[in-house]
Amino acid sequence: MQYDERDPEELRKQRKAKKVKERAVKRKILMIISSIVIALSLVIVLILVLLLKGRIDAENNQVASASVGSLSMTYAGDKTVFDSSDDNSVISSSSDSNSSQDLGQVPSIDTSTLQSPDAYMIRVKDSAPVIDLNSTARIYPASMTKIMTVLVAIENIDDLNATYTFDGTEFNTAYAQGASTAGFEAGETVPVLDILYGIMLPSGADACYAICNYVAGSESDFVTLMNQKAQEIGMTATNFTNATGLQDENHYSTCQDIAKLLQYAIQNETFKTIFSTHIYTTTATDQHSAGIALSSTTFSNLSSSQLDNGATIIGGKTGYTDEAGHCLASLAEDAKGIEYILVTAGAAGDAEATPHITDAQTVYSQLPAA
């Protein structure tokens, strides 16, 4: 047996130095391994980010491609921007609640009991005709005209909270013509938005004259804007001579054109809100300390906007003159939320009759239940 004759203390120091060296080597190896792991992790993260970006870009391109067509509809504030290269294009909106729904076949509607000789109904999402009864025959639109009046006002007013002061001629003119009024008085200052509700809900001619003055300085100049808008959206069988719908042989349209107008107008959120309001109270003024309670001529003649089949009448604009008969342009949705527009005209009856309301209920109650 051999013995190590080296000094034990020296041997201890050597062993200690060897362990220190070994630990240093291990730390260096661990640092190298950690650096490699970190580098690999960064590479993996970068690859995942690139893959995710590529997928998002592909999906965006797919959506954009699906949205490209001959017509596009966007918003500039509350103003509708309309681009059409084809009068038969389908109006759509990215906020449309029907965009992801399977529309399926158009519903079959029995029109045998309708009191309106002229009628046109479309499904909003794809413009598919549902009812077509003399839809291109010339009609007098009466107060359905005010759909265009409100739309043109919205698109030409930057601030709907700006005010207008009635000078009294608005009411006097409407009264002399035997037209319906909203009830604004001379010297009354109200927001322009209140005037728009005064046009749409109670069909106030006084409110129409006020908005014409505010936007264009006169009714005749405002009517020019109305006809320009009609041409822009493809209402080729329409001519307006006034902003109220009062009878004039040269003031005419068709059920199909009015449906096209309403289909366009409801893409504007401000318009749709006004159009679908049942009751609205105007701003308090010195003349009306509690404001004016305005009621929709459509909803005031409906016992309920909810029908037994789950359909809902969302909004409507009535019209009546002796020559026009009873007219109604309305919007409803079925139990699945699919929207439809119905325009009827020429129903007989005195001023107090409601055959147009009855026709709308008859039609919409036949929409498919959920």
So which residues are the catalytic ones? 143, 146, 203
Contact 109, 130 (CB under 8 A): yes
Other C-beta atoms closer than 10 Å to the C-beta of 169 total 13
CB 343, CB 315: distance < 8 Å: no
Asked whether 336 and 370 are in contact (CB, 8 A), the reply is yes
Token pair listed for 328: 């109604």
Closest to 331 (Cα-Cα) out of 91, 100, 105: 91
Closest among 370, 160, 177 to 271, alpha carbons compared = 160
Alpha carbons 15 and 6: distance in angstroms, whole number? 13
Residue 215: φ, ψ to 5°:
-80, -45
Q: Is 248 helix (H, G, I), strand (E, B) or coil?
A: coil
The CB density around residue 36, as the number of other CB atoms within 10 Å, is 10
Look at the block and give the residue holding tokens 């909270």. Answer: 161
Please answer whether residues 344 and 324 qualify as being in contact, where contact means their C-beta atoms are separated by less than 8 angstroms. Answer: no
Angle, alpha carbons 253-155-83 (nearest 5°): 70
Q: Reduced to 3 states, what is the DSSP secondary structure of residue 58? A: helix
**What six digits make up the tokens of 35?**
């650096």
Contacts (Cβ under 8 Å, ≥6 apart) of 117: 133, 134, 345, 346, 347
